[in-house]
Amino acid sequence: MSAESEIVSRLINPGIIAVVRAQKAEQVLPLSEALLAGGVIAIEVTMTTPNAIEAIREARRKIGDRGLIGVGTVLDADTCQAALAAGAEFVVTPICRPEFVRIAHAAERPVMLGAYTPTEAQFAHEAGADFIKIFPTDGLGPGYIRALRAPLPHLRIVPTGGVDVHNVADFFKAGCAAVGVGSSLVSAKILQEANWAELTRRATEFVNAARRDFTDVHG
């Protein structure tokens, strides 16, 4: 199994990707440890985090193989290359930039390209994206994903925005490969209070919900 294939496999089991918009770089390592303690192994550090590249580098060095540290909100090729050089294990962008596929795959790392409509989603797939990030999912819900996958069942969809512990199972039942979870998991309050125990508790809730659905669907 290639490095890229192994990362893809780990991203979809249990399929919870924490979208981290930290208030300062120093929060990334402790919040990552808290997420890992709750069973969330995929951590997307967005470029809106101050000094995100260095935060990714440190987290990747300290966490090693215990989790997956990725980069999110990537908007240009230079950022994509810098994050991969710092050790990012997957790349996420809210937009559709096909050149990111070449850069990520050259480093044997998977990439999620952003899309909103069926045309955009199929275009991202044809560009070589490993996953299609449907964003923003707020207001769309699992029903949109189900409708999208009816004619396009080959898409590996990762909705982001509007996913919470109450509807996460419905997103998986709609056929999502994984889900991106932001403020309903890593909230501003948790970050302000450095309440890592609460973050671990929430992570556990999400993982349990995802695993219950996986069992229901796959037997």
- 44 catalytically annotated: yes
- Report DSSP state, residue 70: E
Torsion of CA 207, 35, 115, 73, to 10 degrees: 180
Q: Does residue 98 have a cis peptide bond before it, meaning omega lies within 30 degrees of 0?
A: no
The residues near 84 (Cβ < 8 Å, ≥ 6 apart) are: 71, 91, 103, 104, 107, 109
Active-site residue identified among 4, 58, 89, 133: 133
Residue 126 CA to residue 120 CA, distance in Å, equals 10
The SS3 of residue 170 is: helix
Asked if residue 20 lies in contact with residue 28, where contact means CB atoms within 8 angstroms, the answer is yes
Active-site residue identified among 4, 44, 89, 205: 44
Return the amino acid letter for 177. A
In sequence order, the β-bridge partners of residue 152 are: none
Q: Does residue 159 have a cis peptide bond before it, meaning omega lies within 30 degrees of 0?
A: no
The torsion angles phi and psi of 42, rounded to 5 degrees, stand at -105, 120
Kindly list the catalytic residues: 44, 133
